[in-house]
């Protein structure tokens, strides 16, 4: 019973977080370094011009070319730092 309560609250928090990201024009990603697959949340269509379904098929390397040229370096550096941190925290 208590586990269900926490799961429901966590789901509500995640829903609010992703809604805020969408409303404020933010793009959030969760990448799997083993598969190269990324899950995207937020203002996907506004930023990339692709629907969430279309963009969900994009892998790590291809995602770089879909970001505005002036933003590609910071995007890629942020993505790589996040993935390295994830690997260190989960596989060290």
pLDDT tens across 60-87, in order?
777 777 777 888 888 888 878 877 777 7
Residues 64 and 80 sit within 8 Å (Cβ to Cβ): no
Each residue of 5-56: pLDDT tens digit?
788 888 888 888 878 877 887 878 776 767 767 778 888 888 788 888 888 7
Angle, CA of 58, 61 and 64, to the nearest 5°: 85
**pLDDT at position 10:** 84
Q: Which of 41, 3, 12 is nearest to 24 (CA)?
A: 41
Q: Which two tokens stand for residue 61?
A: 């390397």
pTM over 0.75: no
């Amino acid at each position: 019973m208590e586990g269900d309560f926490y799961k429901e609250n966590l789901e509500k928090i995640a829903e609010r977080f992703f809604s805020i990201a969408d409303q404020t024009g933010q793009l959030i990603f969760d990448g799997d370094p083993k598969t190269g697959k990324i899950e995207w949340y937020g203002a996907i269509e506004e930023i990339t011009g692709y629907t969430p379904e279309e963009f969900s098929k994009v892998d790590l390397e291809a995602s770089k070319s879909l970001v505005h040229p002036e933003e590609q370096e910071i995007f890629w550096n942020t993505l790589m730092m996040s993935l390295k941190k994830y690997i260190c925290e989960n596989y060290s």
